[in-house]
Amino acid sequence: MRVMLLPGDYIPTKPEVGDDRAIDSSTLSASTIVDLTKDGDKDLSLDFGFVRPEVTVGDYVWFDVNKDGLQDATDRPIVGAVLKITGPDGQPVKDVNGDLVGDVTTDASGKYLFEKLPVI
């Protein structure tokens, strides 16, 4: 059996992570071999789990006090910087669930994070 066409950009999820074949993904990839050789044979536990691949983007926004282009002890985080992420076409990005990705603001340490972004 092989899954030939999936909507979107899905990839197989982790296979056989649980002990209950009724609820975990039973296949190692998008295809699997099943031995059903007698009339009336069935296997109703061949479920295929898929996920959308995702990435996370983030790090640090800082004031480069000594203007050397390196993060070092003299530099300070920029707190409250607002960052917007756009796609290669300059348009807003949707996350892997189809929701628009909003702006993020750096925290007290200058850190920021955009999560659940689709792989481009």
Q: Which sequence spans correspond to the domains of the chain?
A: 1-51, 54-118
Q: How many CB atoms lie within 10 A of CB 80?
A: 11
Report pLDDT digits (tens) over 2-60: 666 666 677 777 776 767 666 665 565 545 556 666 677 776 666 677 778 899 999 99
Q: What is the pLDDT of residue 48?
A: 72
Using alpha carbons, select from 67, 80, 120, 60 the residue that is nearest to residue 96. 120
CA geometry: angle 71, 75, 80, nearest 5 deg: 100
> Rounded to two decimals, what is the model's pTM?
0.64
Which band of pLDDT confidence, cut at 50, 70 and 90, is reported for residue 70?
very high
Return the half-sphere exposure (C-beta side, CA atoms, 13 A cut-off) of residue 52: 15
Which band of pLDDT confidence, cut at 50, 70 and 90, is reported for residue 1?
low
More confidently predicted of 8 and 118: 118
E strands, 25-101, where?
Answer: 50-51, 54-60, 62-63, 76-77, 82-83
Span 54-118 CATH architecture: Sandwich (2.60)
Report pLDDT digits (tens) over 77-109: 999 999 999 999 999 999 988 999 999 999 999
Q: What is the pLDDT of residue 50?
A: 77
Which tokens go with 23? 């609820």
